[in-house]
Structure 1
Amino acid sequence: MKKIVLVLVFIMSIVYVNAQNSKVVSAYNYLKPQYNELGKAKEAIDLATKHEKTKLKAKTWYYRGLVYQALYGSKDTAFQNLCENPLEEAKAAFLKAIELDKKGKYKEDIIKSLKIMTLQFVNKGITEFNSKDNKYEEAFKSFQNAVKINELPFIAQIDTMSVFYSAVAADRAKLYDKAIKYYKECAKYKFKGAKVYLYIENIYKEQKDTVNALKTLKEGIAAYPEDNNLLMIELINFYLNSDQSQEALLYLDKAIANDSSNYSFYFAEGTLYDKLEDFENAVKAYSKSIEINPEYFDAQYNMGALYYNKAVKLIDIANEENDNKKYEIKKAAADKVFEQAIPYLEKAHEINPKDMSTMESLKTLYYRMKKMDKFNAIKEEINKVKEQ
């Protein structure tokens, strides 16, 4: 009698194990297009992944990955709402399956599914990034998932676009340490060129870390000796804003050597020489900028202002002269310099007819040089602009 009981128990245990195994098979079958019963598939595989007899089988977790990946890809909202993060659940399941699959029976199929998943995570991240709610942090997590899947040793691929998207999303989410990490990865693989260094530098500036900001710009310039204009401009502006004129001039010389047709470099050089009160070199630099681009307002205006300000200094010197004859000579010399300012300011006014500083300077000059027709005309233009 005892033998019969033991046999019955053994038979019942086999039936029970088979029932659990059938949950795994059922889950897979429910996935098939002719059934499309994702709700039942999820219910079956959830039970199988919790039961002692099936929870340590690679097949169970592989099928779980397939089920949850299908839930994410479903267009039926009823299925989509069955799980909060189906794609992340699928990823975790596939990785668990790989861990349990000692013989590699499902490895090739799992890798195929994971590669599809990287695209799904990227598309998910793009949707989150572009959402009206600015889901930048969620987007970062999605892009990061794509990156991490590609980094798995059995895939070992570098998708630089996913890395870049991760950096941008982290940047927007103000996750600056992570943004810097992924931007530096982009720099390592020379993805997006010199601009990546500018993105890193902007983060350091946001963090008030001028040491690393400066270091990053110089690293970028060294990495891209033939294509670093944006970095050069940023570095020059850094030195300009921190009153390091000689350093700024040094890098301006390098910038001009790389791109001698860039009028903005000569303009920046002119402003530096102007600041250093080196009149002759300022004139040369502004003249070169204007030669390259005659329609550049800033260069035309600054050149006019350069002559205007020099003339004012000459008038101040003349006013200190007690000898009337010498005064007249010095005043005449100052007027010649005032006269030189007029063409540049007139050109600046032509380029930007509503700039008040230009018009006020011209009004003063026309009156001083007794050009009354022009004085009255510019005065009328000023009044019109003020009325607008």
Structure 2
Amino acid sequence: QAFVNESTSNDPKMWNYRAPIYLQIALKEPSLDEDAILKATEAHIKCLQKDEKGRIIVRKWTTEEDILAGLIQCGYKLFNVAIDKYNAKDYTGALKYYNAIFDIIPLDAEDQLKRGNITKETILYNSFFASSKMKDNATSKKLLQQLIDINFNEPAIYIHMSNVYLEDKNTDKALEYLKLGRNMFEGDQSLINTEINLYIQLGRTSELIEKLGEAIALDSENDLLYFNRGTIYDQEGDFVNAEKDYKASLAINPDAFGTNYNLGALYFNAGVAINNKANDTSSNKIFEKLKKEAEASFAKALPFLETAYELNGEDKNTLLSLKQLYYLSGDYKKS
């Protein structure tokens, strides 16, 4: 009643009591009022308002420390409710609860929310997934742009932004954001592959190869340029040029995980293809010839994949390829 009464609706004492009451409802009996946590959050923030002397307006009844503690509880509850809403496919609700946390973050001077990974970046990113499910491209672009503007350390945001623009039939912008992402995360394989695949879909791989060739002419010691071009050749099935560029890249940077893996995979896949041909032939002579070629290709693959494993022993693709390679090479103990 005090809240709806005009004479007491903004009274400090009213906010002081409203804050813990609605927080307890939200934490213990949320079914009584679905918006209890939103009301609790608003009340706690109101309690932190300062008077002309810089003191919080509820100091007579509650300490600032206790109000802040309650507000942090609100933040965690809002975050959990937002996740629950998302999982229940209530994406509008998820966005509403995520947005409410933005009012708390500036008041969390001790970064208590951050310790639970509740940050501006996390909220923006989670909000994007909700807006994406809603097919709200305008909101998705806004959220992703905010993440880009604060240099969020996640390459996928550029892929997401590119995909949103593709849905809007704007291929130029889609390519622009992939390029921007690659400038930020030069060696990220997912960005490289996404850009290459988009050029392939658009029938413009020759354009990308030409651009990389021009870049190599200006910066011939940049291993990533050779790697990127080699990846394009690789995806197009141009074994000779892919091999040539991967080797050129490794000559500059022999410890590059991606290049070691890709060159190893190039030889490995070639060996598998030859091996399959051998198994399909009815001629013993051709079979023996192809088997030797396959074994030679597997032998070429081994040192590069082993180096890739040494550089990143957690990569599942490398582990799987090595396991298959050892098996096909007859090294059953290692496989």
* TM-score higher than 0.5: yes
Q: Is the 8 A contact 1:164 1:183 kept in 2?
A: yes
Structure 1 pair 239/53, CA: closer, same or farther in 2 (3 Å)?
closer
Question: Where does residue 292 of structure 1 map in the other structure?
Answer: 264
Q: Secondary structure at the match of 2:20?
A: helix
Structure 1 pair 151/258, CA: closer, same or farther in 2 (3 Å)?
farther
How many angstroms does 1:123 deviate by? 1.5
Structure 1 pair 68/348, CA: closer, same or farther in 2 (3 Å)?
same
Structure 1 pair 293/271, CA: closer, same or farther in 2 (3 Å)?
closer
How many angstroms does 1:154 deviate by? 9.0
Distance 2:101 2:58 in 1: 21
Q: Structure 1, residues 210-246: CA drift from partner, whole Å, max 9, x if none?
A: 1221111121122233x33322222222222222233
Question: Where does residue 99 of structure 2 map in the other structure?
Answer: 144
How many angstroms does 1:124 deviate by? 1.4
Structure 1 pair 257/229, CA: closer, same or farther in 2 (3 Å)?
farther
Q: Is the 8 A contact 2:82 2:93 kept in 1?
A: yes
Write 1 or 2 for the structure with the bigger share of helix.
Answer: 1
- Higher Cα Rg: structure 1 or 2? 1
Distance 2:244 2:223 in 1: 19
Corresponding position: 1:90 with 2:51: no
Distance 1:65 1:294 in 2: 63
- Worse-superposed segment, 137-146 or 244-253: 244-253
Q: Give the one of 156, 160, 169 matched to 1:195.
A: 156
Distance 2:35 2:22 in 1: 9
Q: Structure 1, residues 246-282: CA drift from partner, whole Å, max 9, x if none?
A: 33214656799444896x86352256595xxxx9747
Aligned residue pairs, count: 258
Q: Structure 1, residues 158-197: CA drift from partner, whole Å, max 9, x if none?
A: 5322222222222233233223222223233333332221
Corresponding position: 1:64 with 2:21: no
Structure 1 pair 296/104, CA: closer, same or farther in 2 (3 Å)?
same
Distance 2:56 2:123 in 1: 28
Question: Where does residue 195 of structure 2 map in the other structure?
Answer: 235
Distance 1:89 1:127 in 2: 18
Alignment of 1:294-373 (within 5 A): 296-297=268-269, 300=270, 347-348=272-273, 350=275, 371=283
How many angstroms does 1:122 deviate by? 1.0
Corresponding position: 1:48 with 2:9: no
Q: Secondary structure at the match of 2:9?
A: coil
How many angstroms does 1:86 deviate by? 0.5
Distance 1:195 1:73 in 2: 35
Distance 1:281 1:83 in 2: 65
How many angstroms does 1:143 deviate by? 1.7
* TM-score, structure 2 normalization: 0.61
Distance 2:157 2:235 in 1: 28
Q: Is the 8 A contact 2:49 2:56 kept in 1?
A: no
* TM-score, structure 1 normalization: 0.54
Question: Where does residue 209 of structure 1 map in the other structure?
Answer: 170
CA RMSD of aligned residues (A): 4.1
Q: Give the one of 59, 66, 73 matched to 2:27.
A: 73
Distance 1:128 1:87 in 2: 14
Corresponding position: 1:106 with 2:58: yes
Structure with more relative contact order (C-alpha pairs < 8 Å, separation 6 or more)? 2
Question: Where does residue 266 of structure 1 map in the other structure?
Answer: 230
Q: Is the 8 A contact 1:252 1:269 kept in 2?
A: no
How many angstroms does 1:83 deviate by? 1.3
Q: Structure 1, residues 310-352: CA drift from partner, whole Å, max 9, x if none?
A: xxxxxxxxxxxxxxxxxxxxxxxxxxxxxxxxxx6xx4153xx
Question: Where does residue 139 of structure 2 map in the other structure?
Answer: 178
Structure 1 pair 112/349, CA: closer, same or farther in 2 (3 Å)?
same
Q: Structure 1, residues 264-305: CA drift from partner, whole Å, max 9, x if none?
A: 86352256595xxxx9747846999985335643xx2xxxxx
Distance 2:13 2:51 in 1: 8
Structure 1 pair 285/55, CA: closer, same or farther in 2 (3 Å)?
closer
Distance 1:121 1:187 in 2: 25
Unaligned runs of 5+ residues in structure 2 are: 249-258, 288-335
Q: Secondary structure at the match of 1:49?
A: coil
How many angstroms does 1:87 deviate by? 0.8
Structure 1 pair 71/197, CA: closer, same or farther in 2 (3 Å)?
same
How many angstroms does 1:70 deviate by? 1.1
What percent identity do the matched residue pairs reach? 21
Letter in 2 for 1:106: V
Letter in 1 for 2:206: Q
How many angstroms does 1:121 deviate by? 0.9
Q: Is the 8 A contact 2:26 2:37 kept in 1?
A: yes
Distance 2:136 2:164 in 1: 10
